[in-house]
């Protein structure tokens, strides 16, 4: 089990957002008749023609002239209610051609495209971790890591950083610079639509070998498990233990489950966390984009309140995880998630409640957990766009905990 570590500022755990809702240079997908020039290429990729060829959910998208990463325009999409502001284009793809895929498509993972049309979204995800221990920080001011996604071989992951005018050598140099500053940089596996199948011994070995290869190639300190489409506890445990044996005791292992995944120790995600407890760094459950959930007292709590945070964290704290392995994951702003945003003051109140027994809502834990690990936010990019209000508030709170 990881021991208690010196309190240090941490930054991005694993971000797939390179520029906030800028979709220029994305090789996305599309429908309808396509000319030869459109194969494997998005039409109007830089949004110079507004939203022509793009469809945004709930009318959430708009082409803007500032801020832009390159060219003269960019995409701005604002989620509201349960909508998560997806902007999609369908394009024809050529069979067996390698291309970029994932939320951060121009720094995404390579795979062989099938003989069909695909749909991908403009990037909209990332994470910032503020904890009392080694997590990671933004590798270059835009992004720390992207999501690694699966290859044709089950469990095997591929990742490429040398895309979009940002070279592999620059990426490696940025990682080394952050590590020299005392930060940890990890690669995240999965995401909302990332499916990685580790369901047998072969795929478990493929997973461990490919992640370790990425760690050696880029210098990653570890891996974040963000599988939101199910996992097999037996074989994911096998894969993570194999990876740990290869990487050694300094490997960082984090998880970012959804609330439903941690409702009971019988759930596969929770089982996996307990199975690898001795090598697990932290679980940053996502307390957002969630329906109402049960707390450890058996009562139902709705997201968006201090009780939702404390009563659900209690399940993990009383279910077998060490307090030093539990973090609270919240959106950095109302734009960071479709639902579940709470102000930094609510996050701070939850931290006080869990560690000191003060500032609680109607739910008050039966005991305190002074070694609670900290908090995570989605994402560093959204936080920056909001003037770093989240990290400026929650950061000092975390570092002032008992």
Question: pTM above the 0.85 mark?
Answer: no
Give 78-104 pLDDT, tens digit per residue. Answer: 776 656 667 877 665 444 433 333 333
- What's the pLDDT band for 384 if we cut at 50, 70, 90? very high
Q: Is the pLDDT of residue 16 over 90?
A: no
**For residue 158, what is the enclosing H or E element?**
strand 157-158
When comparing pLDDT for 219 and 134, which is higher? Answer: 219
The pLDDT assigned to 81 comes to 60
pLDDT at 82: 56
Q: What are the residue ranges of CATH 3.20.20.80 in the chain? A: 128-399
pLDDT band at 355 (very low <50, low <70, confident <90, very high): very high
Indicate if the alpha-carbon torsion angle 82, 85, 86, 89 is positive or negative: positive
Residue-level pLDDT at 132: 47
Question: Could you report the per-residue pLDDT of 51-69, keeping only the tens digit for each?
Answer: 888 888 778 888 888 776 5
pLDDT of residue 113: 27
Which superfamily does 128-399 belong to? Glycosidases (3.20.20.80)
Residue 256 has pLDDT above 60, yes or no: yes
Q: How far apart are CA 313 and CA 308, in angstroms?
A: 8
Give catalytic residues, as residue numbers: 228
Region 117-142: mean pLDDT is 36
Q: Residue 169 class from Cβ within 10 Å (0-12 exposed, 13-18 middle, 19+ buried)?
A: exposed
Q: What is the mean pLDDT of residues 294-323?
A: 98
Assign 170 to helix, strand or coil.
helix
pLDDT in tens, 184-201: 999 989 877 667 889 999
């Amino acid at each position: 089990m990881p021991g208690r570590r010196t309190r240090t500022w941490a930054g991005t755990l694993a971000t797939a957002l390179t520029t906030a809702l800028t979709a220029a240079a994305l090789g996305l997908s599309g429908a309808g008749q396509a000319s030869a020039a459109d194969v494997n290429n998005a039409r109007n990729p830089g949004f110079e023609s507004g939203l022509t060829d793009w469809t945004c959910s709930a009318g959430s998208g708009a082409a803007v002239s500032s801020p832009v990463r390159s060219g003269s325009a960019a995409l701005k999409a604002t989620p509201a209610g349960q909508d998560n502001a997806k902007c999609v284009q369908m394009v024809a793809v050529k069979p067996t051609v390698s291309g970029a895929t994932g939320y951060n498509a121009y720094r995404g993972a390579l795979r062989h495209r099938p003989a069909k049309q695909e749909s991908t979204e403009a990037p909209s995800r990332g994470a910032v971790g503020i904890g009392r221990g080694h997590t990671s920080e933004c590798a270059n001011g835009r992004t720390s890591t992207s999501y690694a996604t699966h290859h044709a071989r089950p469990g095997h992951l591929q990742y490429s950083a040398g895309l979009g005018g940002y070279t592999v050598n620059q990426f490696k140099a940025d990682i080394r610079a952050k590590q020299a500053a005392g930060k940890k940089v990890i690669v995240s596996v999965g995401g909302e639509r990332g499916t990685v199948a580790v369901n047998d011994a072969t795929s478990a070995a493929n997973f461990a070998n490919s992640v370790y290869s990425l760690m050696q190639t880029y210098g990653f300190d570890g891996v974040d498990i963000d599988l939101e489409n199910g996992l097999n506890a037996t074989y994911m445990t096998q894969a993570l233990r194999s990876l740990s044996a290869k990487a050694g005791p300094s490997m960082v292992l984090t998880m970012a489950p959804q609330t439903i995944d941690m409702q009971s120790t019988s759930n596969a995600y929770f089982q996996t966390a307990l199975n690898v407890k001795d090598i697990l760094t932290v679980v940053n459950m996502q307390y957002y984009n969630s329906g109402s959930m049960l707390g450890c007292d058996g009562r139902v709590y709705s997201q968006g309140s201090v009780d939702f945070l404390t009563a659900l964290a209690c399940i993990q704290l009383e279910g077998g995880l060490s307090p030093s392995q539990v973090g609270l994951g919240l959106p950095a702003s109302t734009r960071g998630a479709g639902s579940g945003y709470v102000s930094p003051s609510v996050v701070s109140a939850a931290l006080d409640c869990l560690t000191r027994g003060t500032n609680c809502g109607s739910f008050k834990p039966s005991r305190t957990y002074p070694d609670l690990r900290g908090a995570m936010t989605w994402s560093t990019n959204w936080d920056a766009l909001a003037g770093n209000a989240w990290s400026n508030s929650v950061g000092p709170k975390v570092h002032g905990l008992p």
